[in-house]
Structure 1
Amino acid sequence: MPANVDLYSGFVYRALNIPVDIATPLLATARLSGWCAHRLEEIITGRRLMRPAYNGVQPYLEYVPLQKR
């Protein structure tokens, strides 16, 4: 499995002496504009963008309360 960019970002952050406590918020901040763009597009078009062609293959299962499981 190929590594995603976050693996290499960690090395860069360490080389730049960025504190470990800030690494996760920094990664999220870098992605925030993309997340906002996706959400705005969902609102404008009225359609969900995540997995638009996904169809489940498992048959529908009725909910069974915990006490009856």
Structure 2
Amino acid sequence: MQSESHKDILIKFGAHLQTLRKKKNLSLRKLALNCNLDHSVIKKYENGDHNPSLISLTELALGLEIPLKDLMDF
């Protein structure tokens, strides 16, 4: 079970991920193709419904063509 503070972190990260994706003019499906993740999983990250693994974070950064540290700066 997640604490409220953990949920808040996931929601903030998800909003940041969505902002980065939209700045790159990428749809969920296009980002999914760029980073070998399913678009439905990325949507769960953006909604704060799922905690991404380190591997997924790395894939997202690659798919967005940004450094991992920029993805984590939220």
Global fold match (TM > 0.5): no
- TM-score, with normalisation over the residues of structure 2? 0.32
In our comparison, the structure showing a higher alpha carbon Rg is 1
- Normalised to the residue count of structure 1, the TM-score between the two structures is 0.34
